[in-house]
Amino acid sequence: MAIMRTEYDRKFEAELHKVIRWLAAQANSRGGFNSIFDTMMGVRALLYYERRAIEFDVEAKVIAEGVDRTLTFSSDNFRRIQRVDFPILPADVKLDVSGSGCAFLQAVVQYTVNDHYNSEDFSLAVSSSADAMVCGASRINVCTSYLPNRQSNLVAVEVTLVSGYTPLKKDLEALISSGNSAFTQYEIKGNKVVLYVASLSAEEACADFGVIRELEVEDAKPGVVVVYDYYQPEIARSNSYTISSANACTKN
């Protein structure tokens, strides 16, 4: 932005092209960058570059198994995102580019990693059971402790629910308001319940709350629980769990 906003930008034309290419390469699969601030600055810089009078007419031919498509980039569609999906993976992709000007092509691969965090600073046990008191509900029990011989920082216990389930808020409220609980606060973020412990020790802290199935999801994947140091999230331990069958509802 500094180069483009000065009258000397033509002097640094070669360096400017290198900077823009590097900046574009840092973008993630959604067009953003590492943080909100980085995204604001990065997109703003690219917009400054876009305002320059650049003529271009680029064709990119994408060939792979099940794919044969030509993308055209011109002054008429330069703001449009063009996407090519590969129906067969893995794939050998051939890309032929011709014409003049500038176009940014990005390959995105999305996948799920089942590896768990395994920091030895925390212990973590997760289980589930049918809720004997609430018709159609199950319960999740999480127990954790901080193993080093000292008090921890603020600790977060993040419970990702099995698809189709929602938490019983009354149980979470009761957990937080209980004078015997180590947990002091909770948040619900989408399909996650996050519980906070101000200071965790070697003495085990346990949370138990109900979940109820709102939607029936076929072949639902196990849920995941992660306990981590709030200020050093790389210090974390995780484990997966499945939901036990809930008690069947009977009509009197």
pLDDT tens figures, 138-180? 999 999 999 998 999 999 999 999 999 999 999 999 999 988 8
DSSP class of 76: T
When pLDDT is averaged across residues 194-199 and rounded to a whole number, the result is: 94
Q: What is the pLDDT of residues 99-152, one digit of tens each?
A: 987 778 888 887 666 678 999 999 999 999 988 777 778 999 999 999 998 999
Considering only residues 69 and 3, tell me which one the structure prediction assigns the higher pLDDT. 69
* pLDDT over threshold 90, residue 195: yes
Residue 252 clears pLDDT 60, i.e. is over it = no
Domains and CATH numbers, the chain: 9-100 (no CATH), 122-241 (2.60.40.690)
Instruction: Report residue 250's pLDDT band, with 50, 70 and 90 as the boundaries.
Output: low
- Which value, to the nearest 10 degrees, does the dihedral of the CA atoms of residues 11, 15, 17, 19 take? -130
- CA 90, CA 76: separation in Å to the nearest integer? 34
Give the pLDDT score at 158. Answer: 97
Closest by CA to 162, choosing from 113, 125, 213, 116, is 213
Question: Rounded to whole angstroms, how far apart are CA atoms 50 and 61?
Answer: 23
208, pLDDT greater than 80: yes
Please determine, for residue 248, whether its predicted confidence score (pLDDT) is greater than 60.
no
Amino acid code (one letter) for 239? N
Q: Apex CA 27: angle with CA 189 and CA 38, to 5°?
A: 70
Q: Is the peptide bond before 90 cis (omega within 30 degrees of 0)?
A: yes
2-23 tens-digit pLDDT? 777 765 556 777 778 788 888 8
Angstrom distance (rounded) from CA 82 to CA 217: 32
